[in-house]
């Protein structure tokens, strides 16, 4: 079986969002939990991949949270500016 790296696939088609990657990794994690390796080496390999998926998904969630926080801050600043324009301070008030 020939495996195409994700970045090569993305170059041919489109880039995948963090959410799509998170979902694919979550499915892979679930599929791995269904495996019942017959050897200790197999168990170790499955566990190592599962731990890598968990770490990767945690990193993706942190990036998504930072982006959401940044959008929230931008929205709050825009609302504050709109309020200032709509209701300018009266003379002598700050």
91 belongs to a structural domain? no
23 belongs to a structural domain? yes
Average pLDDT for 17-42: 85
* Mean confidence (pLDDT) of the chain: 80
The CA-based dihedral angle spanning residues 43, 45, 48, 49, taken in that order and rounded to the nearest 10 degrees: -110
93 belongs to a structural domain? no
Question: Residue 64: which domain range?
Answer: 6-85
Domain count, the chain: 1
For the entire predicted model, the pTM comes to 0.50
Share of the chain above pLDDT 70, in %: 83
91 and 63 Cβ atoms separated by less than 8 Å: no
What are the strands, taking DSSP E only, across the chain?
none
Type and span of the H or E element at 35: none
22 belongs to a structural domain? yes
């Amino acid at each position: 079986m020939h495996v195409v790296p994700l970045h090569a696939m993305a170059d041919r088609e489109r880039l995948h969002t963090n959410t799509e990657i998170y979902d694919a990794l979550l499915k892979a994690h679930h599929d791995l939990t269904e495996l019942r390796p017959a050897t200790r080496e197999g168990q170790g390999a499955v566990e190592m991949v599962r731990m890598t998926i968990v770490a990767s998904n945690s990193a993706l969630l942190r990036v998504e949270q930072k982006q959401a926080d940044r959008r929230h801050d931008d929205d709050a600043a825009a609302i504050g500016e709109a309020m200032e324009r709509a209701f300018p301070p009266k003379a002598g008030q700050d």
